[in-house]
Amino acid sequence: MSTLYFKWLPPKSRIRCFEPDPYTYQILNKNIANNRLELIRTFQCALWDEEKKLDFLIDSKRPAITVMSAFPERGGALAIEVSAEKLSNFISEPVDFLKLDVEGAETRVVQELVQSRKIVLVKQMVIEYHHHFGTQRANLSHLLASLECAGLIISHVHRFSRILRCANPRISLVVLTRPISVGSTPVGL
C-alpha cells in the first residue's frame, strides 16, 4: 500500500521496494503491474547490516502478516531462508525520501548507512521503529543520536498506538529531515 501512496504523491518519482517474503513480494509486483506504475524497482531481499543468507520467520497460515521478521521473538513460526543486503549498496545518488520499515532491523540498517556514509545522501526519512520485542534491547536513543550526528534533525517521534489507535506501544514512528544549507558537512562522518 505504501508504494501506491508514494507513487501517487509525485508520479514521476523513482521508487525502490525491498521485500524478503516471497508471497508478499508477489503481491507487491502484482499491485505495481495492475496499477501500471512505472519507475519502480523491486528487490526480493531483507535489508540488514551485511550481505548474507538470513532465516526470516513468517506465519504460513496468515501470509503477509506484520509479525514477519528475522527475530524469533516477533512471533513468526516458520523460518525461510532469504537473501539479506545492505541498503547502502542501493544508494548511489541523493534520496529525497526514505521510508524504513524493516521489522526490528532498524538499528542494524541505519548504523550500516551511517558507517558507509550513504546516510549523507538521504534528505528526509521516516522510520517505523520496532522495540521492546522479547529480549531485544531498546536502542531508540542510540539510533536517534547516530542520525543526529549524521546531520539529520528529528522532527517527530510518535507512538503508533496514538496514531493508529491500536494497542501496540512497541512501535514508534520517527520522522527526520536534513537541514537545507549549501556547503555544509554533517557532523560525525
What global pTM score does this model have?
0.84
Q: Is residue 186 part of a domain?
A: no
Q: Is residue 169 part of a domain?
A: yes
| Domain containing residue 117: CATH number | 3.40.50
Which residue is listed with cell 520499515?
101
Q: Is residue 187 part of a domain?
A: no
Average pLDDT for 82-95: 97
Q: Is residue 87 part of a domain?
A: yes
Q: Is residue 182 part of a domain?
A: no
pLDDT band at 97 (very low <50, low <70, confident <90, very high): very high
Q: How far apart are CA 169 and CA 164, in angstroms?
A: 11
Nearest alpha carbon to residue 45 among 17, 18, 81: 18
* Predicted pLDDT at 79: 87
| Domain total in the chain | 1
* Predicted pLDDT at 167: 46
